[in-house]
Amino acid sequence: MFIGIQDCYNVANIRTVISGENPMNAINRRTFLMTSLAAAGSGLAQASGPLGANSRIRVAVVGLRGRGAGHIRDFAQLRNHNLEVAALCDVDENILNQRVAEAEKLTGKKPQSFVDVRRLLDEKEIDVVSFATPNHWHALNTIWACQAGKDVYVEKPSSHGIWEGRKMVEAARKYGRIVQVGFQNRSSPALQELMEKIRQGLIGEVYMARGLCYKWRKSIGRAKVEPVPPGVHYDLWIGPAPSRPFTRNRFHYEWHWQWEYGNGDIGNQGPHQMDLARWGLGVGLPRKVQCMGGHFLFDDDQETPNVQMASFEYPDQKKLLTFEVRHWITNSEGDSQVGAFIYGSEGYVEISKYHAYRTFLGRKREPGPAREEVGNHYVNFIEAVRSRKPQHLNSEIEEGHISSSLAHLANIAYRTGRTLNFDPQQERFADDREANQYLKRSYRPPYVVPDKV
């Protein structure tokens, strides 16, 4: 008799109730089942067939602070798509309780609430899980969800590092899951139109693209070690990262500037604009990477650079992609402080972060086509969930992995302090042991991304 992963979860739950065992032990056992049984074959989590137009899709949102609140709101607005925000999960019970009350007021129905994502993934009724957690949790959450037979919407960057990003792609393929990455610009009709015009030759032969992130960021100061706040399950928050004492600068939002959890602004805001630049160039992963910069402003706890300049070279295609981060007072470029530029032999394009573009053609830089229109990334995702066709996604996990990897490559070049040669097919650096060590982190058991998903 074949026993699937979900059946094993239920056995673990039953044994917990009968024996009175510590629930955390049962959770750890289920985690072991998720990671070890996954290697037995793709039959463990069969892809669903196409969902009918009248089938109700039950969504869970994990990570409920800034972006997570947006996920709740945006999914709740899709009620005419027969969708329900059915569950919420956060390791901070203060945020969790607040969002549950807000969701109930918004939708008229109280969602289930969870502190531990593994308990949420036990729920057979959940069809889709949307992750807006810190970056260091993205890969493991997505892989676990795929193993549990759920479709996934995951925020950018899709991963905390390149190796685990590839494992996310493998999990989506193995279990036949629909996995969308939160590069919302990909669903803009205006930018879709632009990319088609570029392919048709609007600005001639494309040779270079620039992304920029000039966001004013105040100093985070220095935070002292303190007791974990009431209601915060800090060990769960740390998850796969090394255990560290609690400070405010290792928690809400400030985690972006700590290497163990975030990727700096080049991996925070930057992936959106690097994705646009890469899309416009029509390229994948580069062969050569350089990055310079530093923590030039403020004497504080930030580990990641706040001034950073990265270059990605595609010698076979004779194309170059660059990206700049500045954290304080600076000029705008065009109308953009956060945006992307694409350059061709007959003109150039300016893309703002607001799903808009302008073109300037010829030596006189005369205004050409321009448009602004926001798309709905969530609708695109839900339509693909119903069709079971990943190719319907505007930002499928493979594309999201490639664009997210640009930020990771830049940070590795910054941390090694030299030009790096990269093999796009193998996703490794050529004869560079130090650089390759940054491709994969060490995981804290039991929160381990497996070699075989």
Domain boundaries, the chain: 5-184, 186-219+257-375+395-435
Residue 14 has pLDDT above 70, yes or no: no
Q: Using one digit for the tens of pLDDT, what is the confidence trace for 391-407?
A: 999 999 999 999 999 99
- Gap between the Cα atoms of 452 and 196, Å rounded: 38
Residue 81 has pLDDT above 80, yes or no: yes
Spatial contact of 88 and 112, defined as CB atoms under 8 Å apart: yes
Residue 8 has pLDDT above 70, yes or no: no
Q: Using one digit for the tens of pLDDT, what is the confidence trace for 54-68?
A: 689 999 999 999 999
**Bigger pLDDT: 2 or 51?**
51
Q: Using one digit for the tens of pLDDT, what is the confidence trace for 187-213?
A: 999 999 999 999 999 999 999 999 999
pLDDT of residue 354: 76
Q: Using one digit for the tens of pLDDT, what is the confidence trace for 282-336?
A: 999 999 999 999 999 999 999 999 999 999 999 999 999 999 999 988 888 887 8
pLDDT of residue 116: 98
Q: Give percent of the chain with pLDDT exceeding 70.
A: 88
pTM: 0.88
Mean pLDDT, the chain, integer: 90
Provide mean pLDDT across the span 408-422: 98
Provide mean pLDDT across the span 101-109: 96
Provide mean pLDDT across the span 205-224: 96
pLDDT of residue 332: 85
Q: Using one digit for the tens of pLDDT, what is the confidence trace for 324-359?
A: 999 988 888 887 899 999 999 999 999 987 799 999
Spatial contact of 147 and 78, defined as CB atoms under 8 Å apart: no
Q: Which residue has the tokens 């493991």?
A: 140
pLDDT of residue 334: 80
Cβ neighbors of 44 (< 8 A, separation 6 or more) are: 4, 5, 37, 38, 147, 175
Q: Give percent of the chain with pLDDT exceeding 90.
A: 85
- Gap between the Cα atoms of 107 and 95, Å rounded: 18
186-219+257-375+395-435 CATH fold: Dihydrodipicolinate Reductase; domain 2 (3.30.360)
- Gap between the Cα atoms of 295 and 304, Å rounded: 7
pLDDT of residue 27: 39
DSSP state of 232: B
Q: Which of 202, 358, 154, 191 minimizes the C-alpha distance to 279? A: 191
**452 falls in which pLDDT band (50, 70, 90)?**
very high
Residue 143 has pLDDT above 80, yes or no: yes
pLDDT of residue 335: 77
Q: Which residue has the tokens 């530093």?
A: 294
Considering only CA atoms, give the Rg of the chain: 22
**Residue 427 backbone phi and psi in degrees, to 5:** 55, 50
Six-digit token pair at 361? 């053609």
pLDDT of residue 331: 87
**5 falls in which pLDDT band (50, 70, 90)?**
very low
pLDDT of residue 79: 87
Helix (H, G, I), strand (E, B) or coil at 275: helix
Helix (H, G, I), strand (E, B) or coil at 260: coil
CATH architecture of 5-184: 3-Layer(aba) Sandwich (3.40)
Six-digit token pair at 293? 């910069």
Provide mean pLDDT across the span 225-243: 98
- Gap between the Cα atoms of 389 and 397, Å rounded: 13
* Alpha carbon separation from 59 to 116, 154, 181, 195, 376 (Å, rounded): 16, 13, 16, 32, 17
Six-digit token pair at 341? 């530029």
Spatial contact of 60 and 129, defined as CB atoms under 8 Å apart: yes
Q: Using one digit for the tens of pLDDT, what is the confidence trace for 24-52?
A: 344 343 443 444 434 333 333 444 444 55
Bridge pairing between strands 347-352 and 356-361: antiparallel
Six-digit token pair at 391? 């190719």
Dihedral of the alpha carbons of 333, 339, 340, 341, in degrees to the nearest 10: -30
